[in-house]
Every structure is written in structure tokens, then in C-alpha cells.
């Protein structure tokens, strides 16, 4: 307990005092305009919090008390998130209030009115637990569904009649039946050759004529997963159906809408669509399959112009040169369907009522950059960390944060939020210095809004720490450091406001090679492998002084977006890292970009595979011709090792900031006439370094801990338009370095 107290005192002393005692390197206070930037504490930039309503056992008096407490600690809003954990429907001895009941609407209405009185905003999680679903989904045709495979073997020499289709059940819908000649091997030998005999099935029996031999029957069904909603009730929703999403909106959204209207309050801001955690597997057996939904076959034909049913076995077995094309087309179709039917349907409804939607797209089978960018605030989470309960590291351990911030930068969003501090420590065990360091870690990855995970409802939640809501730091009255949180909240607010100014400066674009995953046909499970593959190049760039955004096929193919971001030199280099496959339209876009003078660096290999089954042989030949032309272009670069990659980039692009220590990391925003660098020490040690910036203006040092800024007293102008500043960083210290042109 003494150690906890000392850590709290240490951080509070740091927050208040470090900003007041500039080193000898700083000069007089800067001009009024720059100082005003650091003095601001705009309400809309304040951190907010997930507010866990355990079992919905809430009451008006405590709601008011907790909203006042959050305002006092510097928060600007809440995201109400009902959570069910107790089978007895009780929390701290109080009975649960049924979700969306008359009594629940009363306390929700009270919350909106009190938030408006206090100047706080309210968001609401459209997920009651996760994945999205509920009791209104159970027993309906709107539950999550997948394709599953059943097989059986037989030896045949004459006509086949009355043969029972394997896995046949009235509880499943038959999609297709296929025959594979197996020979005498005990398993199927790939590549397989299959016959579609779906039309020869009647009432679960197969009738057909076949040559003599050993055969296997492949029966493909659509069946309900019956996946349960974790920390909620009922079953998971079909995430690929407009009808299912409209059903969800009718039962959940409609009730919330009515309550908001009746309250007369204007504090409600919008909804959160939590992470995409529906699984392509059966709840009962963990048997894996492929996402499926109503109208898939027709919609697929409309988009891809061929019959998917004729190729369905190739999702499960390799059948030759068409298989990766079919799997890519299925994954690409699934991506489009997710955005149109799931995200798009909900956003259209929310925007009709002038509400925003925060989208957590982590785990989505859709193109994550495009899915993140559909909301008014792309929102990442810390779920991609490889290890838990630890201090943040300078090396990236996951890419979801950068995917979300890339969507924000590429698609013109002013903010990028984060579900912050998830898995940082067990409830009540975090320290303020750890929380600040992780906030800095999020800021340097392009985040500029923090949503604390999370604030616990209840006067005294200490008795339930043993059955805590997993992954939670537990902000609130039960944590010993909560009464000291206000200075850290103000620090977060200033950083968020400053990092919302102008435009992010990430001079390198890194191609996101989702085609390599999609051609395998199981993006839900293959994506983590691909992200781990990208981590070395991303970390090599950061440690070499370059920040980056991810670039995807869809944005490269969009001529308007492509010309906008590359013609203005928002990105000065594109890296294609160890990619095997590219869609044909991406090949054409790359050729056009190189003709404009954009350097493109291919690392490890040059892609050689063209994705998509339509005219794939012709497109493969055309792509090969483009490839030959590209290799002759002087703007095309090649590298085999990470050291070679860094050398090649250095030839065409000066590092934006060389920190001199791998534990010093940064992000850069341009807000003319200011160039703002946020530099932070993620280690627990003192680091003295010489910071080398690709800037020539006059430098200032700003401390967001108290909103003070002063002229930099010691700096040196170097050759190649660079400025060097010596600085000694305290453990977990952060500074803004501002250049005025």
C-alpha cells in the first residue's frame, strides 16, 4: 500500500512540476498565439469512459453521483455499456433491471438529463455484450450462420439410388452436394476433381449414375452457429444480413430512440459498434466453417458474375489453379457484404437521426481500413497485444491501432479514438505512471481521443473485484489513485487537442497485403499471421525515423483519392512488403503512380499472382507485362533485407525525426505555420539524446502537463535542412517540439 502511495505521489509531482521547471535548453515564453494552443482544455477533447452497468442494477441517485465524479476528474462523456455476468441477475445485492424495460428507460432518461445538466455527452454501446445479438435473436432466422461440410465414403459400381446425404437434417439448409473420386487412399488427395450433383438430391437422398470406383460425398450446409453473446444474453446476430440488422435496430435501437426523444435531453451523441467478434464456428462443437447468410449466392453472382455454388468445394479443398481465385473472390465479396449490410445499414439509420457511430473494426472480415473509416471516429482497441499486464513498448506489438489511424488520415476524419488501457493491468492494480505511458503510446500511433476501459458503476465495487469484468483497469472510486486522476485527464485533453490540429505527417505508405490472406479463404484466422509478418518492417521504419500509414487496394484503385493523397505528396514513398498477390486493378494503379514519379519499393519479392477468377489468365499475362515495365522504371526500388530497405528509403527520403534511442518515439502533425512533434519516452529510465529533425524553423518546447511552452534555448542547425536539439527525458516524459516556419 505504501508503494502504491509513493507511485501516486511520484506521478503527481511529475505532472505538476516537470512542466514548471524547463531545463536550461529552453528560452523565454513564446508568442501569445502558440501559448494559447497549449493553454486550451477543449471539452470535446476530454477523455471519456466506458461505463459498465453490471446487470443493469442502477438507480438515479448513484447515476448522478457518478456523473458528477467523472466530471470532477476531468472526463467529458461516457459510453454506457450494459454487462451481464451474474446468473442470479444481481449486483451488490440489487436486482437487475430488464434491459429496455419501462424501468430501464426511466434510469436511462435520467442519465441523459443529468449528463446534459453537467455538460457531458452520452454514447451508448449498441452491443449488449459481444458479439452483437440478444434474446430477440434466439430462435429467429436472424442468428449467425456458417457453411459447414459433411462427408461420407462409398464404393460404387452401378446406379446409385436412395443414398443418404451425409449430415442431412431438417435443422440445416442444404446448399450443395458434390462427388469426389478418391481412389484407394484413406483421405482425399488434392487437387480434387469434383462433380456437382446437387440437382440429383431429393428429400435428403442422392440418386445418380456413376462409373465404378471409390467415391466421397461432400455435403455443404448452411446452419446456425448458436454462438452465445458474452457478457450479455441471447445469441449472436447474423452480421451479413440487412434484414438481421434491421431486426436488431427494431428491437434495440427503436427502444433507445424512443427513450431519447421522450427525455428531451440533447446530451446523446451516438453509438458504439464494438469489435467484430462473431466466429465462423459452431458453438456446440467448435467446428469451423465459412460465414454465410441469406441471399449470398444471388448477391455473389451480381458482384462477381459467376455462380459460387459451382465452386463451393474449393473453399474446403484445393482443386487446382482456380482455388485461390475463388477464395479471394469469396473473401472480397464478404468484405463488401459486411460494409453494406452490417455497418452501412446501421450507420444509415443512425445518421437519419443525426447521431454518430464509432466503429471498432478489429477482427472484421471486411477490409479493416474501409470499415474503420465508415464511422465518424475510427476506434481501435488494445486487443492486439501479444502479452498482457505490462508496460507499453516502443516496438509495435500489433497493427490495429495503426490501421484505425490510417483510416482516419486517409479518409479525412478529424479524430481517431481508442478503447484505452484494455488489458493494461488487473482491476485496481494499475498505476498512474503506467496509464500515462500507455496514453503516450496510443498518441504516437495516431490516436487523438481516449475512451477509458472502464468506469465501474456502484458505490463500493471492491467486494466484486474477484469476479471483475475481464481486461479492465477499473477507473473509479475503488482505485486508490482515482482521486489524483484530474491532472492526468487534463494532460490527455491537451494532447488530444494538439494532436487534432492540422494534418498527420506520415511520409511512407505501407501496402496492406490482404490479398495474400483472402486467397486462402479464411481471413478471420489468417489475418493475425499476416499482421505479425508486417510488424518487422513497421518497426524498422519507426526506428529509422519514418512514421507511416497503411494503404489498401480500394484506395489505390480510387483515382480521386489516389490523385489527392499522392499528387499532394502526402505520401512520398510506397512500400510493398513481401506481397505475393495483387488484384489486377492494383497493378494498373501502381503503374500510374510510378509514372507520376512516386517511388515504390518492393521488399523480399515482387508480386506475381493476380487475384480474382474473371479472365484470370488474360489478366495474369497483362500484369506480367506491367511488371516488366515497372522493373525498368527508375522510380522502382528493391530490397531483400530490412537494412537494404532502410538504405533505399534513405536515398529518396530524409528521416522525419531521428530520436537516437529506440525507446523515444514520436508522431508529427503539420498545422501551418507550426510543425508539431509529440516525442515521448516509453521507458522507465532517463534518456539523454540529440533529436534530429527534418526542419529548419525556430524550435519551441511545449509541456502538455501544464500547458506551458517556451523557446528552445539550445539547438543546432545541421546540413541537409536539419535541426538538432539535445534533450534529457525523464522516465515516461513527453514533450511537444514545435517549429515555426
Per residue in 709-725, pLDDT (tens digit) is: 999 989 998 877 899 99
pLDDT, mean of residues 569-573: 86
As a whole number of angstroms, the distance between CA 585 and CA 602 comes to: 18
Which range is least confidently modeled, 102-111, 290-299, 371-380, 530-539?
530-539
**Which residues does residue 212 pair with via DSSP β-bridges, in sequence order?**
none
Above 50 in pLDDT, residue 22? no
As a whole number of angstroms, the distance between CA 619 and CA 582 comes to: 11
Above 50 in pLDDT, residue 28? no
Task: Give the residue, 12 or 442, on which the prediction is more confident.
Answer: 442
75 φ, ψ (degrees, to nearest 5): -85, 155
Above 90 in pLDDT, residue 173? yes
pLDDT, mean of residues 560-583: 85
As a whole number of angstroms, the distance between CA 591 and CA 608 comes to: 15
Which range is least confidently modeled, 268-282, 284-298, 424-438, 624-638?
424-438
Above 60 in pLDDT, residue 6? no
Max avg pLDDT among 82-96, 302-316, 554-568? 302-316
Band the pLDDT of 10: cuts 50, 70, 90: low
Distances (CA, A) of 368 to 28, 84, 99, 293, 610: 46, 29, 31, 20, 21
Above 80 in pLDDT, residue 89? no
C-alpha torsion 391→393→399→403, nearest 10 = 90
User: Can you give the pLDDT at residue 486?
Assistant: 97
Band the pLDDT of 84: cuts 50, 70, 90: confident
Which range is least confidently modeled, 94-98, 130-134, 591-595?
94-98
Query: Mind listing the pLDDT tens digit for each residue in 663-714?
Result: 999 999 999 999 999 999 999 899 999 999 999 989 999 999 989 999 998 9
pLDDT, mean of residues 484-493: 97
Residues 6+ apart with CB under 8 A from 412: none
Amino acid at each position: 500500500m505504501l508503494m502504491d502511495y509513493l507511485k501516486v505521489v511520484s506521478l503527481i509531482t511529475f505532472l505538476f512540476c516537470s512542466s514548471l521547471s524547463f531545463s536550461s535548453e529552453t528560452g523565454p515564453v513564446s508568442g501569445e498565439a502558440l501559448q494559447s494552443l497549449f493553454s486550451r482544455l477543449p471539452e470535446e477533447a476530454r477523455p471519456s469512459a466506458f461505463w459498465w452497468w453490471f446487470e443493469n442494477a442502477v438507480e438515479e441517485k448513484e447515476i448522478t453521483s457518478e456523473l458528477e465524479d467523472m466530471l470532477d476528474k476531468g472526463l467529458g462523456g461516457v459510453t454506457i455499456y450494459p454487462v451481464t455476468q451474474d446468473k442470479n441477475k444481481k449486483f451488490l445485492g440489487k436486482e437487475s433491471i430488464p434491459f429496455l424495460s419501462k424501468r430501464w428507460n426511466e434510469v436511462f432518461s435520467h442519465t441523459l438529463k443529468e449528463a446534459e445538466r453537467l455538460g457531458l455527452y452520452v454514447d451508448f454501446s449498441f452491443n449488449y455484450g459481444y458479439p452483437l445479438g440478444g434474446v430477440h435473436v434466439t430462435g429467429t432466422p436472424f442468428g449467425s450462420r456458417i457453411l459447414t461440410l459433411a462427408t461420407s465414403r462409398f464404393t460404387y459400381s452401378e446406379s446409385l439410388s436412395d443414398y443418404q446425404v451425409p449430415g442431412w437434417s431438417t435443422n440445416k439448409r442444404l446448399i450443395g452436394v458434390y462427388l469426389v473420386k478418391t481412389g484407394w487412399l484413406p483421405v482425399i488427395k488434392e487437387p480434387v476433381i469434383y462433380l456437382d450433383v446437387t440437382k440429383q438430391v431429393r428429400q435428403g437422398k442422392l440418386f445418380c449414375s456413376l462409373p465404378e470406383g471409390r467415391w466421397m460425398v461432400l455435403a455443404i450446409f448452411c446452419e446456425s452457429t448458436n454462438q452465445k453473446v458474452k457478457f450479455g444474453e441471447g445469441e449472436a446476430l447474423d452480421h451479413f444480413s440487412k434484414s438481421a440488422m434491421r431486426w436488431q435496430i427494431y428491437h434495440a435501437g427503436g427502444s433507445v430512440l424512443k427513450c431519447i426523444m421522450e427525455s428531451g435531453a440533447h446530451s446523446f451523441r451516438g453509438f458504439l459498434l464494438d469489435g467484430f467478434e462473431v466466429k465462423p464456428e459452431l458453438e456446440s462443437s467448435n467446428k469451423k466453417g465459412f460465414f454465410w447468410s441469406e441471399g449470398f449466392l444471388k448477391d455473389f453472382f451480381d458482384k462477381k458474375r459467376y455462380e459460387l455454388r459451382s465452386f463451393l468445394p474449393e473453399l474446403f479443398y484445393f482443386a487446382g489453379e482456380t482455388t485461390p481465385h475463388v477464395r479471394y473472390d469469396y473473401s472480397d465479396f464478404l468484405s463488401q457484404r459486411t460494409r453494406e449490410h452490417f455497418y452501412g445499414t446501421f450507420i444509415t439509420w443512425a445518421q437519419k437521426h443525426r447521431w454518430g457511430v464509432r466503429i471498432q473494426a478489429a477482427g472484421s472480415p471486411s477490409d479493416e481500413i474501409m470499415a474503420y473509416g465508415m464511422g465518424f471516429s475510427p476506434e481501435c482497441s488494445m486487443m492486439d497485444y501479444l502479452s498482457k499486464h505490462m508496460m507499453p513498448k516502443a516496438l509495435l506489438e500489433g497493427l490495429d491501432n495503426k490501421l484505425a489511424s490510417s483510416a482516419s488520415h486517409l479518409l479525412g476524419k478529424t479524430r481517431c479514438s481508442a478503447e484505452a488501457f484494455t488489458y493494461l493491468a488487473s482491476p485496481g492494480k494499475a498505476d498512474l505512471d503506467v496509464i500515462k505511458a500507455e496514453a503516450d503510446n496510443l498518441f504516437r500511433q495516431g490516436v487523438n481521443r481516449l475512451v477509458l476501459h472502464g468506469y465501474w458503476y456502484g458505490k463500493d465495487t471492491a467486494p466484486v473485484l474477484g469476479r471483475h469484468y475481464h481486461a479492465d483497469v477499473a477507473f473509479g472510486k475503488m482505485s486508490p489513485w482515482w482521486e489524483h486522476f484530474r491532472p492526468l485527464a487534463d494532460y490527455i485533453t491537451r494532447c488530444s487537442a494538439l494532436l487534432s490540429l492540422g494534418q498527420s505527417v506520415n511520409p511512407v505508405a505501407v501496402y496492406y497485403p490482404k490479398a495474400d490472406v483472402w486467397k486462402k479463404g479464411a481471413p478471420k484466422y489468417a489475418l493475425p499471421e499476416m499482421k505479425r509478418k508486417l510488424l518487422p518492417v513497421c518497426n524498422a521504419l519507426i526506428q529509422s525515423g519514418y512514421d507511416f500509414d497503411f494503404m489498401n487496394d480500394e484506395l489505390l484503385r480510387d483515382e480521386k483519392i489516389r490523385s489527392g493523397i499522392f499528387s499532394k505528396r502526402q505520401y512520398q514513398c510506397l512500400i510493398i512488403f513481401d506481397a505475393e498477390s495483387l488484384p489486377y486493378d492494383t497493378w494498373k494503379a501502381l503503374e500510374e503512380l510510378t509514372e507520376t514519379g512516386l517511388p515504390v519499393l518492393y521488399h523480399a519479392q515482387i508480386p506475381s499472382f493476380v487475384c480474382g477468377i474473371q479472365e484470370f489468365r488474360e489478366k495474369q499475362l497483362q500484369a506480367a507485362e506491367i511488371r516488366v515495365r515497372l522493373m525498368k522504371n527508375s522510380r522502382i526500388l528493391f530490397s531483400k533485407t530490412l537494412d537494404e530497405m532502410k538504405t533505399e528509403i534513405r536515398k529518396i527520403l530524409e528521416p522525419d525525426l531521428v530520436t537516437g534511442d529506440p525507446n523515444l518515439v514520436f508522431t508529427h502533425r503539420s498545422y501551418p505555420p507550426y510543425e508539431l512533434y509529440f516525442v515521448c519516452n516509453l521507458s522507465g529510465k532517463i534518456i539523454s539524446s540529440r533529436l534530429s529533425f527534418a526542419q529548419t524553423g525556430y524550435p519551441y518546447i511545449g509541456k502538455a502537463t501544464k500547458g506551458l511552452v517556451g523557446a528552445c534555448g539550445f539547438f543546432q542547425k545541421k546540413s541537409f535542412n536539419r535541426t538538432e536539439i539535445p534533450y534529457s527525458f525523464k522516465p515516461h516524459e513527453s514533450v511537444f517540439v514545435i517549429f515555426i516556419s
